[in-house]
A and B are shown apart, each in its own frame.
Chain A
Amino acid sequence: MTAHTQTMAGIAVRPQAGTLTGTVPKMDARGVKVYYGAKQALKGIDLEIPERQVTALIGPSGCGKSTFLRCLNRMNDTIDIARIEGLITLDGQDIYDREIDPVQLRARVGMVFQKPNPFPKSIYDNISYGPRIHGLASRREEMDEIVTKSLQRAGLWNEVKDRLKEPGTGLSGGQQQRLCIARAIAVSPEVILMDEPCSALDPIATAHIEELIDELRENYTIVIVTHNMQQAARVSQRTAFFHLGEMVEVGDTEEIFTTPRDERTQGYITGRYG
């Protein structure tokens, strides 16, 4: 619990030291606790997610980083036994408020999963599904444009433009994951959550996705969970280190990787455990 308070202090000083420059964070978590039945998975997380930056969540397996990520778009709602306490805001509004509809929230806070999970439909339908259910395009041309733009942004357009009618499941793993990213951005979310998006991919496909994340940063706020510390170092501006359900340390990525304040962070990033 002492580490917890220290982190709080760390955040408190962050505005002067970090890149937040006093602006309101895009998302803000305060004292988030998650229980799966009797088991506590998160023990009070405080984390600010700055706009148009990549925030990486790192930590050993089972430390709660994915759980935390899934709290940000209320994906944990689908788990019956999960119980969430604390406050998470998006643009200053409590996302667990009664007035917030989780369906609408998930359109604003998109998600890319660990394993590429395209719908077993055509590439076109994969992208157009979200916009269609949200009524983002009224005419066919508009939909075509959304599909084209999303695929272009996800860097997949040139590879698939001639086979939009073919099933998305026929693509390679890396292409599928970019398809999933394209699908996520097709509904114009403000925040994109990525849960170890490269863990099932080979290094070349991973490099592709990392480049893509870097480009997406211009328009979207991105939170990425990763096991790969090099990846966190390469793509993120801010890094939060989770350990056993607590957030041990958060700061600029460079700072976390060069001068971690906590011993556990240091141990993890230097590979002493994890």
Chain B
Amino acid sequence: MTDIISTPRAAPYQSDDFAARLRKRYAAERRFKMYGIAAIAIALGMLAVLLASIVSQGYTAFAQHDLSLEIYFDPAEIDPQGTRDEATLSGANYAALARQSLQAAFPEVESRTERRRLNAIVSNGAGFELRQMVMDNPDLIGTRQTVRLALASDYDQLLKGNIDRDVPEANRKVSDQQIQWIDKLVSNGNIVNGWNWRLFMNGDSRDPELAGLKAGIVGSLLTLAVTLGLAIPIGISAAVYLEEFAPKNKLTDLIEVNINNLAAVPSIVFGLLGLAVFLNAFNMPRSAPVVGGIVLALMTLPTIIIASRAALKAVPPSIREAALGVGASPLQVVTHHVLPLAMPGIMTGIIIGMAHALGETAPLLMIGMIAFIVDTPGGFGDAATVLPVQIFMWADSPERGFVERTSAAIMVLLAFLIAMNAIAVVLRKRFERRW
């Protein structure tokens, strides 16, 4: 057809003018492609820089140096009366045991100040770790055991090379004498390097060597459970109603505009709303995953509704007609045909919303999830913190040990995001394949 039409007009298309225009068009196309490639290269480069800086700073936090000391569980110190009474056991001075053991290794240290400096090598948490061991197994009392105890963070950092030995002593957190002690402990095999289980098994702590993410991880999971439990059913129901059943009038137009506006509201505003409504008006518990979850659900709802509506809109009307044509009721049309077909798109919205919620900090600050939480939350009403807030708090801490832990926590958060996205993508693929 086009041939027939263009034949009589062939002449202008062979002119030099036309050839030049054609070259220009192709050049524009090549240029456009190059812009695109450049944009992607810049984006990938920035991502690589970001990841490289986080990983290079954070990977060391996954290993930690421990003191491996022989501890005499002295009955005179722990349980002088031999009652094995729990209150006695838990009240004993376990830190003294660790100190005794360390001083036994350095008999030459005698003055009080020097002893204090030596004792600083053991973490403040060593006493708690020993107590936990004895509480779990009181038979340890009276025996000698080689035990791994936390090394104070500064010495861990020294051994990791993060504290420079060449810096003048006055500008260094670790004295020359302490470096000598540490080196001796290393040569005696009293220092072992291993997987940093404290990072995952402990809650937060003032001491970097003891600080862990468990409270944050559990808090995040609890919060996210509330968020998804609320946002998914409400979001999908709202989208289905607005898209499939609601009459098109001024009111629904207004609702639609406002949902779109809500998606652009800064997240901290949702936090203020949570503070004013859930905490002040409803007296819900502070710092609790249930409140955090509700606030994040409010924040992710617009995203899920908008994505779900787009996905529902993309289902061809012919499918609706086909189902109506065989006598399906409007609800059956939606639940049997439209919703399953829209599911992959809805899942995309949920993934985006979930990633958003998992990484959100600002609204949670307003409802008190910034609190220093050591204990792992046991339920939706317990005080909790979440991973991003934990990262925020660690990033705020000046100790060198928290620097690497901050990066490590970011890596853990990213790993969670990637894992959750992977699950969602797999689910999505599954839904797609069923049809």
Contact = CB atoms under 8 A, between A and B. Distances in A.
Q: Name the residue among A73, A120, A186, A187 with the largest chain B CB count within 10 angstroms.
A: A120
A95 to B, nearest CB: 13
B418 interface: no
A117 B322 contact: yes
B435 A183 contact: no
B435 A110 contact: no
A184 B326 contact: yes
Given A78-B320, A133-B329, 20 more contacts: A75-B321, A103-B327, A103-B328, A104-B327, A106-B325, A107-B326, A110-B325, A111-B325, A113-B322, A117-B321, A118-B322, A119-B337, A120-B319, A129-B323, A129-B326, A129-B328, A133-B326, A133-B327, A186-B326, A187-B327
A120 B322 CA distance: 11
Given A119-B319, A119-B337, A167 B324 contact: no
B266 interface: no
10 contacts: A80-B247, A106-B324, A111-B321, A120-B319, A120-B435, A121-B435, A133-B326, A133-B329, A183-B322, A187-B327
Contacts of A184: 325-326
A234 interface: no
Given A121-B435, A133-B332, A167-B435, A180 B322 contact: yes
A208 interface: no
A269 to B, nearest CB: 28
Contacts, number: 66
A124 to B, nearest CB: 14
A130 B337 CA distance: 12
B336 A129 contact: yes
B341 interface: yes
A104 B318 CA distance: 20
A271 to B, nearest CB: 21
Interface in A91-128: 103-104, 106-107, 110-113, 115, 117-121
A192 B323 CA distance: 15
Contacts of A119: 319, 322-323, 337
A80 B323 CA distance: 18
A33 B383 CA distance: 66
A163 interface: no
A103 B104 CA distance: 89
A187 B332 CA distance: 16
B9 interface: no
A161 interface: no
A130 B321 contact: no
A121 B248 CA distance: 31
Contact of A130 (B327, B341, B435): B327
Interface string A165-193: 00100000000000010011011000000
Interface in A108-158: 110-113, 115, 117-121, 129-130, 133-134
Nearest to B247: A80
Contact of A183 (B319, B324, B326): B326
A120 B325 contact: no
A119 B247 CA distance: 26
A249 B319 CA distance: 34
Nearest to B333: A78
B323 to A, nearest CB: 7
Contacts of A187: 326-327
A125 B305 CA distance: 30
A234 to B, nearest CB: 25
A29 to B, nearest CB: 19
B324 A75 contact: yes
Q: Name the residue among B248, B326, B341 with the largest chain A CB count within 10 angstroms.
A: B326
